[in-house]
Structure 1
Amino acid sequence: MRRKNFLPSLIVITLLWSTLGFLVYFTDPQNQLFVVLFFIILFIALFLTSALVLGNSRRGLIVSIILTLFTLFRLFGIGNILNFLLLVGLGVIIESYAKFTKRNS
């Protein structure tokens, strides 16, 4: 299957990652507005990138939610390998459930 919108998606993804890099490098991390903006841009960039790489929007959404939540956990100081593995396990369960219910319907 061929994606017709590959180039526009690639341009948007590149702009989002560039904006995220600019935000990290040039803004004050103590400003709460920039922290919220960072997580919004991170989520969208991860979603579009993983959906494009995996070729599936549902899996891209699951991956981006897991990675964004883990980054948020790191911000609060509770991001460790156990929490990461629990999030990955939750993502695998959600994906398995979605695949199982889709097959049986």
Structure 2
Amino acid sequence: MKFVLAFCFSLAMISAGAVQADAAAGQSAYAAKGCIGCHGAGGVSAVAANPTLKGQSADYVSKNLTDFRSGARQNPIMNAMAAGLSDADIRNIADYIGSLK
């Protein structure tokens, strides 16, 4: 029984590690994937038409990027931008934005 519990705990820890976001990687992806061009350095947009992301939660950013990528949320620019993001990119960018206070 102890072996089974230890095995299940190990699997849970491995799984948790597989989905962990990385804010530093997210900051790099935010710049490399072009987010910074519209949403500004540090998530603060200089253009009123482009939303400031600073202050948004990681969950909010993740859901919206996922919805843009799938087409569940429509915006021609964001649909095209999100199409090139992997699940890891989305998690990392969301974690980066969520870390901005």
- TM-score where L is the length of structure 1: 0.26
- TM-score where L is the length of structure 2: 0.27
Flag the structure with higher helix content.
Answer: 1
Q: Which structure is higher in RCO with an 8 Å CA cutoff and minimum separation 6?
A: 2
